[in-house]
Chain A
Amino acid sequence: MSIEVHNLHQHYGETRAIDGVCMKLPDSAQVLALIGPSGGGKSTFLRLIGGIETPTSGTVIVDDQELPKEEEGLLDYRKSNGFLFQAFNLFPHLSALDNIILPLTEVHGWSRHKAEERAHEVVKRFYLEKHLEKHPEQLSGGQQQRVALARAVAHEPALLLLDEPTSALDPEMKAGVLDLIKELCDAGQRIVLSTHEMGFARQSADHVVFLAEGKILEEGKAEELFEASREPKVTQFLDRVMKW
């Protein structure tokens, strides 16, 4: 996977959510994890890489293509990706099945029949067969996140972006969703995720970026960063979050 970021800025009024980020991901990396303190800019960075927002300045280059700045081109780029947020991903007026089908038919132009077939495949893979007809409010948080994940991968996205996909879940549901994400990693899915689950990041990510105050404090191979960080701030952060 090739992601390059040049002098990226994203400012919201006075807040510099992303404040001059440069990064070049090694081609060998398949899973990139963003970690760091709350408010450090992880979600913003993900939205920029995913083409959900356009940056104040700077460029993002994915697979040698610079992300367009105008909405139309950006929309096409977004269609090729999958995105999962912390919570509230699903549309409450649609059943689980229709949540998965809607983007397939309306965004990707599949026939209803083909979309249904595909939806049933992913639903089976994610152990959701029993919940197809339920609406989001009838599903547990973990089930909702699994449906949302199924929707995000149903069209086989080139890049899957996950923003703290489990931080709103109970520990038990967390494990279920993380298992699925791990399966996707092992199946070769290219993923960029932000997470507070250090254990998970360490196990599944090839490359880790530590973001704080809108800047990259440190980046590197997962094992190097977790075992032998050179940045005192990063070591401190890791010590604190790994303590319990």
Chain B
Amino acid sequence: MKSFINALVSVILAVTFFFGFWVILDHDYDWAAIAPYSGNLFSGWLVTVGISLAALALSVVVAAVLTVAQLSSHRVPRVLSRAYVEIVRGTPLLTQILIGYYLIADAIGWDSRFGVGLVILSCFSGAYLSEIFRGGIESISKSQWLSARAIGLSEGQTYRFVVIPQAIRRVLPASAGQFANLIKDSSLLFVISVHEFTMQAREANANSFATFEAYLPLVMGYFILTFPISLLSRHLEKRFSYEH
């Protein structure tokens, strides 16, 4: 029975792959049609890289603030940050982009699409990242706290010298994964016309009618960004799993 299922799965996978490759390979490519837009595609790719890096930096800041608030001994920051994280994680990014741009940014009179997109993406990713950070800090065992207390470290010193250095190692793999998500999620910013990679590919497609020639580079462009990160994340995971 088990070998039958294995065989069936193998066949289905093989057929799917074959069909996929056949569609891609059999297509009658007309690269000349897309050539005039290659500069735009490349600049879109650069915008995606840029906005992802900037959002990474900003989302670490957002996540740090949220994490401090969640670990606070006061109720108010705890409840507020919890509510924020739940709302952000419980609603689609697309909705947040639309509301963030057309309602909130509009109300305060800010119309830099890149700027607003960057902030929304950072607030979104920061919520996920803060859950990773909190999990990392809470994973440090009670015996570490007890040891730190026993040698006379204050609470702040315990965080600084004992808890955070260990937590950082533990959250690195998941944080790298979150960065890969960030790169992919930035593609949704086309709805507010940020001139990132997906937006440029859509425009190139609309103008040239060369769908394959516009979207194939799009897929490759994202993949060469996310694949190394995924490898890095797996490498980090292995490396730190030996330590414990």
Measured CB to CB, the residues of A under 8 A from B are 50, 52, 75, 78-79, 83, 85, 87-93, 102-103, 106-108, 135, 137, 151-152
Contact = CB atoms under 8 A, between A and B. Distances in A.
Nearest to A104: B151
Top 7 A-B residue pairs of the complex, sorted by shortest distance between their CB atoms:
A83-B150, A79-B152, A88-B143, A107-B152, A103-B151, A78-B152, A93-B166
B153 A103 contact: yes
Interface stretch (B8-16, B50-58, B157-165, B211-219): B157-165
B150 A91 contact: no
A146 to B, nearest CB: 15
Interface residues of B, number: 20
Contact of B169 (A78, A83, A93, A102): A93
Contacts of B207: none
Contacts of B169: 93
B152 A92 contact: no
A237 B158 CA distance: 40
Given A102-B161, A106-B161, A92 B166 contact: yes
Given A52-B146, A87-B143, A137-B243, 4 more contacts: A52-B150, A85-B143, A92-B166, A106-B157
Given A91-B162, A106-B157, A106-B161, A78 B150 contact: yes
B244 interface: yes
A107 B149 CA distance: 11
B112 interface: no
B144 interface: yes
B125 to A, nearest CB: 27
Contacts of A50: 150
Contacts of A85: 143, 146-147, 150
B154 interface: yes
Nearest to B150: A83
B239 to A, nearest CB: 13
Contacts of B146: 52, 85
Nearest to B169: A93
With a 10 A CB-CB cut-off, give which of B147, B151, B153 has the most chain A CB atoms.
Answer: B151
20 contacts: A52-B146, A52-B149, A75-B152, A78-B150, A78-B152, A83-B150, A85-B143, A85-B146, A87-B143, A88-B147, A91-B148, A91-B161, A93-B165, A93-B169, A103-B153, A106-B153, A106-B161, A107-B152, A137-B243, A151-B151
A90 B165 contact: no
B3 interface: no
B73 interface: no
A90 B161 contact: no
Interface string B162-185: 100110010000000000000000
Contacts of A90: 147
Nearest to A89: B147
Interface string B9-49: 00000000000000000000000000000000000000000
B6 interface: no
Contacts of A135: 243
Contacts of A83: 150-151
B141 interface: yes
Nearest to B151: A103
Contacts of A52: 146, 149-150
Contact of B152 (A87, A89, A93, A103): A103
A46 to B, nearest CB: 10
Contacts of A75: 152, 154
Contacts of B148: 91
Interface in B62-88: none
A108 B157 CA distance: 13
B141 to A, nearest CB: 7
Nearest to B143: A88
A78 B143 contact: no
